[in-house]
Amino acid sequence: MTSFDRPHLYIGGEWVTPASTETIAVENPATEEVLGHVPAGTAADVDRAVAAARAAFDGWAASTRRAEVLDRLHTALAARAGDIARVVGLELGAPLKIAKAVQAGLPLAVLRSYADLAARPAPETTVGNSLIEHEPIGVVGAITPWNYPLHQVVAKVAAALAAGCTVVLKPSELTPLVAFLLIDAADEAGVPAGVLNVVTGTGPVVGAALAGHPDVDMVSFTGSTATGRAITHAAADRIAKVALELGGKSANVILEDADLTRAVKVGVGNAFLNSGQTCTAWTRMLVHRSHYDEAVALAAKTADGYPVGDPFDANTRLGPLVSRAQRDRVLGFIERATARRVTGEPSLPAKGHFVAPTVFADVDPSSELAQEEIFGPVLSIIPFSSDDEAVAIANNSKYGLAGGVWGSDDRALAVARRLRTGQVDVNGGSFNPVAPFGGYKQSGVGRELGEFGLSEFQQVKAIQR
């Protein structure tokens, strides 16, 4: 098997030797074989990377060529699209179709949008006798998750660079390899030295050092709510800005006048996307009682049509979960559930961290199954009797990241407006990579993507004349 060892860190425009000789093994979750190793970075590596980012900041903030650099980066990254899909398929276990379309395709679309935004910066505006300017916030620490390992990196890095910030990136230690493809592309594209740096390592070491670093002006984090809380505390000591994209437990509301077949099939697909390892997954399906039994039967049949197996097999629709720990966590939720399981238990590959597609019916809206983010291919179906009850159940969550509503257009839109969540799809509206993305409540603070994502990395200055 080809080795994917990446022994160096990228700091100050150079591949450098880490401060420690310790490494982190990167596993293929479908085979449980080691793909390669990356450096186990240290606080000293973070210090070096932050110093490089600080030294590069003034020049990058003043540059009029940011759009040109991002355009070259897009070209270099697009040339690696096939490698991106393959690497994500290997280190995450994403089925190849998803790896190509989403894991490789979406970050390219996002990067393209930020190259375009950098080419047309917001004009200066006036309010009375004040001139309003938008300036980059400074050095950004970007800490990214394992489930969409390139998209989440690009959503932060491209926005920060377009805004004029410099970045120190810590990718997830579970899926760090694809981030190196971005750095390879950045090096080839001539991103100026120190503008983009990468330090691999664990959250408790590298992540903590970055979040608490006195010379980091902003931390942008995607991951668990518990870790987001710790990062907020670390940044609070120096009053640094924090942007957080955290957990979700999104509801898919199917009203009585919805196209039931389409709503259920799309809903199951959304819940199982990326083997359920998606923060926006519609993991609660709320169905009007008049169609409830039909919906349960249809959801079970649809779920049974999701073959589990080798991510590189064209017939596979569900790959493995990212790690043994994640698999065991998901299985724990399934084993503790008291609701009615309506899907079977198919045989799974002997090796790999696989979980069968699982649908529960008659789920108590206040139960663990309906309240906790499981992050696996597990769907809960809950009945409701009125639009008001559906809204109450949907909003009965500590999270508020995404959701869906199906029904006649005006009625579905009215329900969507009542959901306390950052993004809602009505009747299968497609994902928009330039619309603001982020959550309410414990799903986070701030927004990513498009102009709203760009503004997160900017300060606003008023100059009175």
Cite the active site residues.
245, 279
**DSSP bridge partners of 16:** 9
Checking DSSP bridges between strand 403-406 and strand 425-426, what pairing results, if any?
Answer: parallel
Q: Which of 107, 141, 147 is nearest to 248 (CA)?
A: 147
Q: Which of 463, 462, 461, 459 is nearest to 164 (CA)?
A: 459
Residue 55 half-sphere exposure toward CB, CA atoms < 13 A: 13
The tokens describing 180, both together, are 């190196």
Decide: 38 and 24 in contact? Cβ < 8 Å.
yes
The tokens describing 228, both together, are 């987001």
Calpha distance 11→42 (Å, rounded): 13
Residue 355 half-sphere exposure toward CB, CA atoms < 13 A: 29
SS (H, E, C) 58-104: HHHHHCCCHHHHHHHHHHHHHCCHHHHHHHHHHHCCCCHHHHHHHHH
Calpha distance 74→150 (Å, rounded): 13
Decide: 380 and 284 in contact? Cβ < 8 Å.
yes
Per-residue burial over 171-193, b if 16 or more Cβ lie within 10 Å, else e, is bbbbbbbbbbbbbbbbbebebbb
Residue 424: φ, ψ to 5°? -135, 135
